Amino acid sequence: MNNTEAHIEETIEGHEGFIKTPKQLIVTVILAFIVPIVVIIMLTHLVAASMQSGAGSDAQKPESIAARIKPVADFKLVDANAPKVYKTGQQVFESTCTACHTAGVAGAPKIGDKAAWKPFIDKGYEDMVKNALHGIGAMPPKGGNPSLSDFEVERAVVYMANKAGAGFDEPKEPAPAGDKADADTEKQAAAPAAAAAATPAAEAKPAEAKPAEQTAAAKPAEAEKAAEPAADKSGASADGATETAAVNPAGEKLYKSVCFACHAAGVAGAPKFGNKEDWAKFIATGIDAMVANAIKGVGAMPPRGGSQASDEEMRAAVEYMVSAAK
């Protein structure tokens, strides 16, 4: 073999591929399909994982986002002439009764506790409604929410009693106020006509005319007499308006929604609303100290009364309760 043939053989051996057997060819073909698919799947998972911000929570759900961007103030237009829409028993329970009847505060029977409710249910529906309307034990009248109607209180009693095994029927909704007012108006309009028809025309006597001088002399005296009570009334109303304006309405709102649960009946030593003796020692410490205690909590009262009220709202509530005790 000459040098040229030896060089050609060496060149062929140097360019020989790594696939030398059929088995190696099959493995190579399979890997050529599998490897790209695995890479694509891994990239897909990587992209999906990078898009899941806040994984493990509901922070990115549409409902959660809508709740975060919801306006702080909420209102709706109501027709003043529209018929009154009464709250259901469940709504009254959730807005008023739950403060005591959910945890059994001050001996209140827990919602759904059949053993605790049995003595009250055995006394009958009428007795339970009477106690709910007028108060019993530590529970104030209407659960401390005077804005509730008697019908709404009855609905709440039925709701809680039936949750504990009673079978009371839902109370009937009262007739609209407009129907009653129309009936009263018709009666009032018919009364003068009936009286006029019953009185004979001959019995009607003309009023005696007063002398001009007597009438003229009486006018200044009557004017002075009418002016005095009018002045007193206007002065009193001005003072009342000033006193009312000094109290922030937010305080009354917070009291009726949160504070009333304890302060309406003096639960756990809380000073009763409007009781001067109960509030005297607290008022003596000053309004700032009272507000600080209300915010931080004192005794059995939790911080902010267990609510999420702001410092300004807490101050308004304290001022509202203090003004009622003066």
**Two tokens at 245?**
């304006």
- Of 90, 74, 217, the residue nearest 162 (C-alpha): 90
Q: Which two structure tokens, joined as six digits, stand for 146? A: 């005077």
Specify burial of residue 109 (Cβ count, 10 A radius: 0-12, 13-18, 19+): buried
Residue spans of alpha helices (H) in 199-275:
212-246, 249-254, 260-263
- Rounded CA gap, 127 and 134, in Å? 11
Q: What is the pLDDT of residues 268-278, one digit of tens each?
A: 778 888 888 88
Its CATH class, for the domain covering 89-163, is mainly alpha
Distance CA 142, CA 169 (A): 20
Under DSSP, the state recorded for 207 is P
Low-confidence ranges of the chain (pLDDT < 70): 1-17, 50-58, 71-82, 176-247
What pLDDT shows up at residue 188?
60
Q: Give yes or no for a contact between 273 and 267, defined as CB atoms under 8 angstroms apart.
A: no
Q: Fold identical between 89-163 and 246-324?
A: yes
Distance CA 278, CA 263 (A): 10
Confidence (pLDDT) at 206: 43
∠ Cα 252 256 258 (to 5°): 110
pLDDT of residue 183: 52
Q: Where are the domains of the chain?
A: 89-163, 246-324
Could you tell me the pTM of the whole model? 0.39
Structure-token match 């009764």, residue found: 97
Residue 71: the pLDDT is 66
Helix axes 311-324, 287-296, angle to 10 degrees: 120
Given 1.25.40.10, 3.40.50.920, 1.10.760.10, 3.40.190.10, which CATH number is that of 246-324? 1.10.760.10
pLDDT at 145: 82
